[in-house]
Amino acid sequence: MRMPNFKTILAAGLVVSLLAGCGTRVGSWFSSRGPSPGDPAELVDFAAEARASQAWSRSTGEGERRLGLRLHPTLAEGRLYLTDPSGRVSAVDPASGQAVWSEGTGLRISTAPGVGAGRLVVGTLDGEVVALDADSGAERWRARVGGEVLARPLVSQGLAVVRANNGRVSAFDLGSGQLRWEFERPVPSLSLRGHAAPVTAQGLVIAGFEDGLVAALRPQDGQRVWETQVAEPEGRSELERMADIRGDVQAGLNEVFVASYGGQVMALSIQGGQPLWARDLRAPGGLSLDSRNLYLADDSSVVWALDRGSSSAQWRQEALQNRQLTTPVMHGGLLLVGDLEGFLHWLSPDDGRIVARTRHGRQPIRATPQVSADGLAYVVDVRGAMTAYRIARD
């Protein structure tokens, strides 16, 4: 296993310890990719087969800067909801970018918003969960979870399900804020700052943990239905034993796909948690999928397409190495990634060739782009500049 740069991890761990006040957390999304040797790959000319155009642009606030929070917008219930670490929460029209409402909460918001059933739920660096009215931004309730919240809350089945950095999953009644249940796993003495957000699949809540375990929980009471060890903490040092479940988890019809910092990408049966296949790859930004393939950028920013059924590699694109890519997402039938220099790249899902490129700005893009059903991709950089893009084939 390739070892992370110890000085970088130690410095990040000290910063995070000051912020969190408990445990030892190393790195963040933008530093946890490990020390891929060499500078970012130089961008070279290519034969463009598609063109990107801007539909609108606006600011989301001050931006996350170097906090590594990946604060992407949330598209839900006909609106685009935005958060900012300074506490600004906004709703905008997704077609025009015009503000519907904007509220200053005074909170140190640290998550993208979870939205559903007329509620908007955010987590904070101070271990709070706050629910707002999705139509006005008025606060409805708040609760404490005992650790900073870095993963977007899951709003589903009348619950707000929150994953904190203390190994705890807490479920609150969406209407009243009353705690309904908690599920907790021990946190290793050394782990990464940040973790996968819980998702729902076939009526279950799926959550990943710092010790490399994935669990399926019953939403009505939090009882464990199954658990599976995706990555075993192995090695002589605590650094070598880090096995955190990282990045965006994806659920298909009958399987869930997860990635660990320990270097495993795995497909699991949703109903029983049985491993369907596993592949040795590290995907620090998480996964995306279409009807055929699973897509990821590895810790060297090589983009991979894996067959969903077998994990066999369909292609790999190495032209963007060391550019600290976002999670790939499908946009207009192409695969979209952002990078550390503010560039956006569109790849063919058939063979990985680069077919379009534009520059969003000069700031890094860390948050996963979000895509609407009518073909707009919403991209935000670390300074809070957001643009909606369309893509058209030449």
In this structure, are strands 293-297 and 287-289 parallel, antiparallel, or unpaired? antiparallel
For the chain, give every domain's residue range: 40-69+316-394
pLDDT score of 188: 59
Q: Residue 374 phi/psi, 5° resolution?
A: -95, 15
Listed range (132-146, 226-240, 258-272) with the worst mean pLDDT: 226-240
Question: Going by C-beta distance under 8 Å and a sequence separation of 6 or more, which residues neighbour residue 315?
Answer: 304, 305, 350, 351, 352
**347 pLDDT higher than 60:** yes
Listed range (16-20, 359-363, 367-371) with the worst mean pLDDT: 16-20
Closest CA to 196 of 172, 219, 213, 171: 213
> Is 142 strand, coil or helix?
strand
CATH architecture type of domain 40-69+316-394: Beta Barrel (2.40)
pLDDT score of 145: 96
> pTM (2 decimals)?
0.87
pLDDT score of 232: 65
pLDDT score of 20: 39
Neighbours of 158 (CB within 10 A): 16
Long-range pairs, 86-90, Cβ under 8 A, ≥24? 86/61, 86/62, 88/60, 88/61, 88/62, 89/113, 89/120, 89/122, 89/132, 89/137, 90/60, 90/61, 90/137
